[in-house]
């Protein structure tokens, strides 16, 4: 049963914010050193939640000084998938999926972006805690990059893990056409896996001639869970085979970059361990659970292969009655010694059980109505987002403070909610506490479901919150939150 308090129907405004969060608490570890002995003060619930958060991930990352300079050019090209005729696509550097950028934690990425598309675009670095100006949101953090234009992105990631990048202009069209790339931030000393492999999972909706169906944001897609295509690919191929030798221990990084389709990967007779979700390591590795990978989600798994030769299909069990083979793993050849090392999944992940005692800072109600450019508008709090240039801030958050934010799905459709600029933890589903041993940046909210999230933002600025079913986002299911410095007071905003 949902414990939603829908009685609070008035959207929270900047003015109401001050009443919601006490103004004077000094977050642990962030205050100025005080000259004398600190005055005795009972620990508040907020203090305890922040103390639990300490050590989860850093505010800043010291740069190693190593700089990776890359050029990313978005433009049209062709892709051949299986027996299909060559497909006209849009790609970064002529590849689908785009180039995989691999750097180490502490390294700086300098990406010169060149737009050779027939329309404006940007690059958003999904899941990466970047300075706000590098977040790639048109009109909010940067001007859109017009055809022929360039933009220089530069940042030093603060978290190791598997991240990705994609446009934030007309995403439902640009991502579907092939504009997707991966950013892997390796640990300072990567573990000696036999192989470190990437699988980019996608689907495509084609027209009868075998080209990408040019009808985007259809009423059908909007009335359902976005655009689900029939042609499924892994790394741009319909027949991906990962070849390993008996005894190998691999790290497999999976990204779901589909517009709308959710995937539940299943590894048959293999026994993978889940290492990381949305880039961040777990508290400890766990047996691979049934995990609904929504568009945007990443999963890293650790698999050791037995001393047998076999070919194992990797399937999608999102619809258990209609399993689909995504690709396969072929174990063959001379056996090798299995690399032995401690799992890298040993992160500090707060339990935040007290988080559910905090007031709900904001309850986003999610629903649709008829109207708008596409015939159906998806909304947060009955407000469709009508363009990045006409945005308003829906809520304020304070940096270095714990916030509990609720998403109440009043519709029957799926809504994978993604927040820019912060990780979060799922605290409860339909009011029932859950303890996922990991952070996320995207969570699938099912029809009529209510999900409570806990978060401590680390970076100030205006950040998007949106459904990652790109058709839902495009038709209005986006909003902005603003993270303020911890000495911010509403009266000064």
Site residues (vs ligand C2O, CB under 6 A): 124, 126, 166, 168, 296, 418, 420, 464, 466, 468
Which entry of Cu ion, ligand C2O, none binds 205, CB below 5 to 8 A by partner kind? none
Report, in Å, the least distance between residue 465 CB and ligand C2O: 9
Please give the Cα distance from 466 to 298 (Å, whole number): 17
Which entry of ligand C2O, Cu ion, none binds 469, CB below 5 to 8 A by partner kind? Cu ion
DSSP 3-state assignment of 222? helix
Report, in Å, the least distance between residue 86 CB and ligand C2O: 28
* Distances, alpha carbon 311 to alpha carbons 243, 274, 326, 330, in Å: 9, 21, 13, 4
Report, in Å, the least distance between residue 409 CB and Cu ion: 9
Which entry of ligand C2O, Cu ion, none binds 415, CB below 5 to 8 A by partner kind? Cu ion
Report, in Å, the least distance between residue 266 CB and Cu ion: 24
By beta-carbon proximity to ligand C2O, the closer residue of 328 and 458 is: 458
Please give the Cα distance from 99 to 181 (Å, whole number): 6
By beta-carbon proximity to Cu ion, the closer residue of 251 and 418 is: 418
* Distances, alpha carbon 397 to alpha carbons 118, 119, 403, in Å: 37, 34, 7
Please give the Cα distance from 245 to 336 (Å, whole number): 7
Report, in Å, the least distance between residue 422 CB and ligand C2O: 13
Q: In what order do the strands lie in the sheet with 310-316?
A: 241-244, 324-331, 310-316, 265-266
By beta-carbon proximity to ligand C2O, the closer residue of 105 and 417 is: 417
Please give the Cα distance from 301 to 182 (Å, whole number): 17
Residue 126, judged by CB atoms within 10 A of its CB (0-12, 13-18, 19+), counts as: buried
By beta-carbon proximity to Cu ion, the closer residue of 465 and 467 is: 467
By beta-carbon proximity to Cu ion, the closer residue of 142 and 172 is: 172
Which entry of Cu ion, ligand C2O, none binds 177, CB below 5 to 8 A by partner kind? none
Measured from each CB, the residue nearest to ligand C2O is: 126
Helices and strands, counts by H and E, the chain: 5, 29
* Distances, alpha carbon 51 to alpha carbons 55, 360, 424, 453, 479, in Å: 9, 20, 16, 18, 30
State the DSSP H helix or E strand holding residue 254, giving kind and residue range, or none if neither.
Answer: strand 249-256
By beta-carbon proximity to ligand C2O, the closer residue of 344 and 416 is: 416
Q: What are the residues binding Cu ion (CB under 5 A)?
A: 415, 467, 469, 472
Which entry of Cu ion, ligand C2O, none binds 472, CB below 5 to 8 A by partner kind? Cu ion
């Amino acid at each position: 049963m949902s414990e939603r308090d829908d009685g609070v129907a008035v959207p929270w405004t900047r003015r109401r914010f001050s009443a919601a969060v006490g103004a004077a608490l000094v977050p642990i570890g962030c205050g100025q050193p005080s000259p004398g002995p600190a005055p005795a003060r009972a620990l508040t619930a907020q203090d305890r939640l922040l103390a639990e958060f300490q050590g989860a991930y850093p505010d800043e990352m010291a740069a190693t000084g190593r700089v990776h300079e890359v050029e990313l050019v978005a433009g049209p090209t062709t892709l051949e998938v299986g027996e299909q005729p060559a497909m006209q696509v849009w790609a970064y550097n002529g590849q689908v999926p785009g180039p995989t950028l691999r750097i180490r934690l502490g390294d700086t990425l300098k990406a010169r972006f060149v737009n050779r598309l027939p329309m404006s675009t940007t690059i958003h670095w999904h899941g990466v805690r970047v300075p706000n100006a590098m977040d790639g949101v048109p009109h909010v953090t940067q001007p859109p990059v017009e055809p022929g234009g360039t933009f220089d992105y530069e940042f030093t990631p603060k978290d190791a893990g598997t991240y990705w990048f994609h446009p934030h202009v007309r995403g439902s069209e640009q991502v579907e056409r092939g504009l997707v790339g991966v950013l892997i931030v390796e640990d300072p000393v990567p573990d000696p896996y036999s192989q470190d492999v990437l699988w980019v999972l996608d689907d495509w909706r084609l027209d009868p001639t075998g080209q990408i169906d040019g009808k985007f944001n259809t009423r059908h897609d909007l009335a359902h869970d976005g655009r689900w295509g029939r042609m499924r690919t892994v790394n741009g191929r319909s027949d991906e085979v990962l070849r390993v030798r008996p005894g190998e221990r691999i790290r497999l990084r999976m990204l779901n970059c589909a517009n709308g389709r959710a995937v539940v990967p299943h590894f048959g007779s293999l026994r993978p361990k889940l290492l990381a979700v949305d880039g961040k390591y777990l508290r400890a590795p766990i047996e691979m659970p049934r995990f609904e990978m929504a568009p945007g989600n990443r999963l890293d798994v650790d698999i050791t292969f037995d001393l047998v030769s076999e070919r194992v299909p990797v399937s999608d069990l999102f619809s258990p009655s209609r399993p689909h083979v995504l690709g396969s793993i072929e174990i063959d050849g001379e056996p090798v010694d299995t690399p032995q090392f401690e799992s890298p999944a040993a992160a500090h992940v707060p339990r935040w059980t007290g988080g559910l005692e905090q007031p709900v800072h904001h309850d986003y109600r999610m629903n649709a109505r008829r109207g708008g450019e596409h015939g159906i508008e998806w909304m947060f709090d009955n407000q469709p987002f009508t363009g990045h240039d006409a945005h308003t801030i829906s809520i304020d958050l304070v940096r270095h403070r714990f916030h509990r934010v609720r998403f109440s799905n009043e519709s029957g459709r799926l809504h994978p909610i993604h927040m820019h600029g912060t990780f979060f933890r799922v605290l409860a589903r339909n009011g029932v506490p859950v303890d996922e041993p990991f952070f996320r940046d995207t969570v699938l909210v099912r029809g009529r479901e209510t999900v409570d999230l806990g978060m401590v933002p680390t970076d100030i600025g205006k950040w998007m919150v949106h459904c990652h079913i790109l058709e839902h986002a495009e038709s209005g299911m986006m909003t902005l939150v603003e993270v303020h410095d911890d000495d911010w007071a509403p009266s000064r905003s």
